[in-house]
A = this chain, B = another copy of it.
Amino acid sequence: MAKNLTTRKEDYSKWYNELVVKADLAENSAVRGCMVIKPYGYAIWEKMQAQLDKMFKETGHQNAYFPLFVPKSLFEAEEKNAEGFAKECAIVTHYRLKNDPDNKGKLIVDPEAKLEEELVVRPTSEAIIWNTYKGWIQSYRDLPILVNQWANVVRWEMRTRLFLRTAEFLWQEGHTAHATKAEALAETEQMNDIYAEFAENFMAMPVIKGRKTESERFAGAEETYCIEAMMQDGKALQAGTSHFLGQNFAKAFDVKFATKEGSLDHVWATSWGVSTRLMGALIMTHSDDNGLVLPPNLAPIQVVIVPIYKGEEQLEQISVVANELAKELRGQGISVKYDDRDTQKPGWKFAQYELQGVPVRIAIGPKDLEKGSVELARRDTLSKEFVAQKDVVEKVKGLMIEIQENLHQKALTFRNEYITPVNDFESFKEVLKSKGGFISAHWDGTAETENKIKELTKATIRLIPFDSEKEEGTCVYTGKPSAGRVLFAKAY
């Protein structure tokens, strides 16, 4: 039930943590930093997966599966990548437990079963995949390779939060191999565009597309493209990244191909990923003090029907109408749950589905039977109205589109209000403190200034937007010349 949910104003962070647990999305497990994704949360993730997978396949990608473990010697082959992940890796050192001689019924690690070479639990799979691609690529005929993997990865984060930062998380990682730099760059951009399209049209979450600065790039990448979203508390969230890896991994793993012209060249690479972090972004973009708000395109239950009745006989009469309605709605491809459980009261159910963000709720009571109507409630606006039973299907079909778009527009309006152009450092600090959001400011292009600003304000350069207007100016911190504005923000 929704009762006792901390409000966003009181404590946004606490609101989020409570919401994730109370809406049955996920919970912490017995393993430090690892979460359990509960069925309702996982059903949303499955809808995300299905749509993304479709978009990947439509652009020619195929799925495959590579090992969970990376031998240490492969892991360290691409130095920058290794350096970037070495400090947060789970390491397998042994392959057997044995009975504890001092403690009946307990087990200890068998010291005789020590691995010759330690295995890193993959924090990302470039190393193991490029070691594999070496065997797959001989000539230009073998290119491009357009492969994606749905998998779990582990990064031993010290401070974790459900969905947003967990030691183990689920994601997809695309790994492509190309004959030319131009083709790899086009792939990098295409996948970033697909992420943006998914965020806007399915998550109803506005995102800004752009590139990362050198210090914010993926370890081992020559260029990182990203999509960035704005949460309701004024903090940015990186929702997806697509990396142009140049020839770095091909060189580290010696992957060459015979060109059409007969020469040998190193292969060009990209990688790109989104993760269960998107669940956190989805929750924070739309939800309110009553709980989760889901866009219809990702809602596992789009419509819930609740009967209001006294006694078996009334329930039976209502169920005739409800089941017929459910059937018709399902015929239109709408997912419907008819909740006729007698173990819970209608009020409890209303609160529960509100908390779980079901877009449309239909209630049917004895008076509705008389009038041939139903009561229809929208989760996004919390508004209610009576609708004639014969009009419900058309009404709901329209609402699926309307609610999706309303959430998108609302989030877009919010996000646009949270981009503040700033021209001096005092205003920068002031806006960051009083309002938050993206700060659009000139930057002199150096890592030094970027770090200094981060040190002083905790704001980082989220991205250099692709579509920012060419505008000459002076750096908000150093006053040195700048060729365009970038977006700063505090971030998740």
Cβ-based interface call for A93 (8 A): yes
Q: Please tell me if the beta carbons of A67 and B29 are within 8 angstroms of each other in the complex.
A: yes
- Which residue of the partner chain, among B34, B36, B43, contacts A69 with CB atoms under 8 Å? B34
Q: Please tell me if the beta carbons of B93 and A64 are within 8 angstroms of each other in the complex.
A: no
Cβ-based interface call for A109 (8 A): yes
Residues of B within 8 A of A118 (CB): 109
Cβ-based interface call for A388 (8 A): no
Distance, CA A135 to CA B69, complexed state (A): 31
Q: Please tell me if the beta carbons of B63 and A96 are within 8 angstroms of each other in the complex.
A: no
Cβ-based interface call for A147 (8 A): yes
Q: Please tell me if the beta carbons of A39 and B147 are within 8 angstroms of each other in the complex.
A: yes
Q: Please tell me if the beta carbons of A27 and B76 are within 8 angstroms of each other in the complex.
A: no
Taking the closest CB of chain B, its distance from the CB of A125, in whole angstroms, is: 11
Q: Please tell me if the beta carbons of B156 and A96 are within 8 angstroms of each other in the complex.
A: yes
Q: Which residue of B lies closest to A153 (CB)?
A: B68
In the complex, how many residues of chain A place their beta carbon closer than 8 angstroms to a beta carbon of chain B?
Answer: 65
Known: A30-B131, A147-B39. A88 touches B93 (CB 8 A): no
Cβ-based interface call for A170 (8 A): yes
Taking the closest CB of chain B, its distance from the CB of A111, in whole angstroms, is: 11
Q: Please tell me if the beta carbons of B39 and A95 are within 8 angstroms of each other in the complex.
A: no
Cβ-based interface call for A400 (8 A): no
Known: A91-B95, A96-B89, A97-B86. A43 touches B63 (CB 8 A): yes
Distance, CA A46 to CA B88, complexed state (A): 32
Cβ-based interface call for A371 (8 A): no
Q: Please tell me if the beta carbons of A91 and B86 are within 8 angstroms of each other in the complex.
A: no
Distance, CA A93 to CA B96, complexed state (A): 12
Cβ-based interface call for A62 (8 A): yes
- Which residue of the partner chain, among B64, B152, B170, contacts A37 with CB atoms under 8 Å? B64
Distance, CA A114 to CA B376, complexed state (A): 56
Q: Please tell me if the beta carbons of A63 and B39 are within 8 angstroms of each other in the complex.
A: yes
Q: Please tell me if the beta carbons of A31 and B70 are within 8 angstroms of each other in the complex.
A: yes
Cβ-based interface call for A384 (8 A): no
Cβ-based interface call for A327 (8 A): no
